[in-house]
């Protein structure tokens, strides 16, 4: 039996990015918004996690589940039981109050509906009932939306948070470089999630803005004011949001130089661009192991292409 059920949600214009992130975190395609896994991933790591249920008990019918819960003699005071829909439409959702009430009566302790100490979840999925400890994505990282310095061209918070997880496959011990860090959108999400991430920015004034953003939230991250071609320290992963302008030949040459040096100083690269550079990336000798596209909003007029690369041919 899998140990966890994850519940995810996303806007349609971010569906492809969410799928990319889930493949990176769980090493397999995720086809549904509720899925089983024996991997424990922090519930607030992905912007697309809604919640995670750690399975304690399962049963073929509700009466059997309640009986199993009663035998466990749960005695916590301050508990809450919530029904978690696994699919839409969920055949049991209309009965959720009766279900949670019946389960609550199987506890010895006193419930708390306003300030629960622990939340238990129950769900019905594929003709089985599951019960366990339910935790929610805190969404506290959304405080970064109010950072002191930002640009309209900066990555969205969801995109920045997701691509960090793609770059590291969720391993927070990995050492990351953001060689075109701008005002530090990726850095903020990285430090919030506990990643070891360093920023590099060629423009002095922009680098100062990134430092101000980090300081504003109390993060002690490093922002190096340097050209990437001057860097020689090696990293586990590079997250590269390529600068964009009028897309002249010189712009494209500059982008490919950045890609070349990112591959030189890192084992794995996540490259982001507003133009399709697939052929150029392959010509550079990089191995594209996965890719995606994400849009800025529902209009889908502004796209960012994402490539996950590992090493050189």
Q: 233: domain CATH number?
A: 3.40.50.150
Where helices occur in 27-146 by DSSP H, the ranges are 62-72, 96-104
Q: Are residues 290 and 158 in the same domain?
A: yes
**128 plus 226 within the same structural domain:** no
The predicted model scores a pTM of: 0.93
Do 74 and 181 belong to one domain?
no
64, 180, 204, 284 from 223: Cα distances, Å: 57, 10, 10, 27
Residues 6+ apart with CB under 8 A from 2: 36, 37, 38, 55
Query: Which of residues 92, 119, 136 is at a domain's end?
Result: 136
> What three-state secondary structure class fits 53?
strand
Which residues, including other chains, have CB under 8 Å from residue 172's CB and lie 6 or more apart?
193, 194, 195, 196
Q: For 231-287, how does the pLDDT look when each residue is reduced to its tens digit (9 = 90+)? A: 999 999 999 999 865 444 557 888 999 999 999 999 999 999 999 999 999 999 999
Q: How far is the C-alpha of 234 from the C-alpha of 198, rounded, in Å?
A: 12
Burial degree of 230 (CB within 10 A; 0-12, 13-18, 19+): exposed
Residues 119 and 203 in one domain: no
Shared-domain flag, residues 68 and 13: yes
What is residue 252's predicted lDDT score, i.e. its pLDDT? 80
CB–CB of 157/47 below 8 Å?
yes
* pLDDT attached to residue 301: 85
The answer on pLDDT for 312 being more than 80 is no
Same domain, 178 and 308: yes
Same domain, 212 and 304: yes
How many C-beta atoms lie closer than 10 Å to residue 207's C-beta? 21
Are 180 and 240 a contacting pair, CB within 8 Å?
Answer: yes
Burial of 229 (0-12, 13-18, 19+ CB in 10 A): middle
Question: Nearest CA to 243 among 182, 161, 164?
Answer: 182
Residues 75 and 94 in one domain: yes
- Is residue 172 located within the same domain as residue 95? no
Task: Residue count of the chain, please give it.
Answer: 313
First to last CA, the chain: 40
Q: What is the pLDDT of residue 247?
A: 46
* β-sheet with 128-136: strand ranges across: 34-37, 4-8, 49-59, 128-136, 118-125, 79-83
Q: Identify whether residues 209 and 297 lie together within a single domain.
A: yes
- Do 104 and 149 lie in one domain? The reply is no
CB-CB contact of 287 with 308 (8 Å)? no
Give dist(CA 37, CA 113) in Å, integer: 29
Tell me the CA distances in angstroms from 272 to 32, 70, 264, 291, 305, one per residue in order.
Answer: 26, 52, 17, 10, 6
Average pLDDT over residues 136-155: 93
Instruction: Among 89, 117, 136, identify where a domain stops.
Output: 136
The burial of 194, by beta-carbon neighbours within 10 Å (0-12 exposed, 13-18 middle, 19 or more buried), is given as exposed
| CA-wise closest residue to 269 among 230, 213, 302, 311 | 311
Q: 231 lies in which domain range?
A: 143-312
Same domain, 37 and 99: yes
CA distance linking residue 243 with residue 214, whole number of Å: 21
pLDDT band for position 311 (50/70/90)?
A: confident
Averaged over 213-239, what is the pLDDT? 95
Instruction: Provide the domain count of the chain.
Output: 2
Last residue of a domain, one of 92, 118, 136: 136
Lay out the sheet containing 266-273: strands in order across.
223-224, 196-200, 175-178, 235-241, 266-273, 303-312, 286-295
Q: What pLDDT does 248 receive?
A: 46
């Amino acid at each position: 039996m899998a140990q966890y059920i994850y519940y995810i949600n996303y806007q349609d214009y971010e569906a492809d990015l969410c799928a990319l992130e889930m493949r990176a975190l769980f090493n397999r395609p995720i086809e549904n918004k509720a899925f089983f896994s024996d991997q424990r991933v922090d519930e607030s790591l992905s912007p697309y996690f809604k919640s995670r249920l750690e399975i304690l008990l399962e049963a073929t019918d509700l009466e059997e589940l309640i009986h199993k819960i009663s035998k466990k003699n749960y005695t916590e005071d301050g508990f809450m039981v919530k029904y978690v829909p696994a699919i839409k439409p969920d055949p049991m959702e209309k009965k959720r109050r009766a279900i949670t009430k019946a389960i609550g009566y199987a506890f010895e302790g006193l419930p708390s509906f306003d300030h629960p100490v622990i939340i238990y979840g129950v769900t019905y999925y594929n003709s089985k009932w599951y019960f366990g400890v339910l935790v929610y994505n805190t969404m506290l990282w959304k405080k970064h939306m109010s950072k002191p310095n930002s640009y309209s061209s900066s990555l969205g918070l969801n995109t920045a948070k997701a691509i960090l997880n793609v770059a590291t496959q969720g391993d927070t011990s990995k050492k990351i470089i953001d060689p075109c860090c701008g005002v530090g959108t990726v850095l903020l999400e990285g430090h919030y999630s506990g990643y070891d991430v360093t920023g590099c920015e060629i423009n002095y004034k922009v680098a100062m803005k990134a430092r101000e953003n980090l300081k504003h939230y109390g993060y002690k991250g490093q922002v190096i004011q340097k050209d990437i071609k001057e860097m020689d320290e090696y990293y586990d992963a590079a997250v590269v949001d390529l600068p964009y302008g009028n897309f002249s030949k010189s712009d494209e040459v500059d982008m490919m130089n950045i890609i070349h040096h990112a591959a030189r100083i890192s084992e794995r690269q996540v490259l982001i661009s507003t133009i399709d550079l697939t052929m150029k990336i392959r010509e550079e000798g990089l191995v594209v192991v996965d890719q995606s596209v994400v849009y800025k909003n529902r209009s889908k007029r502004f796209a960012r292409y994402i490539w996950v690369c590992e090493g050189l041919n």
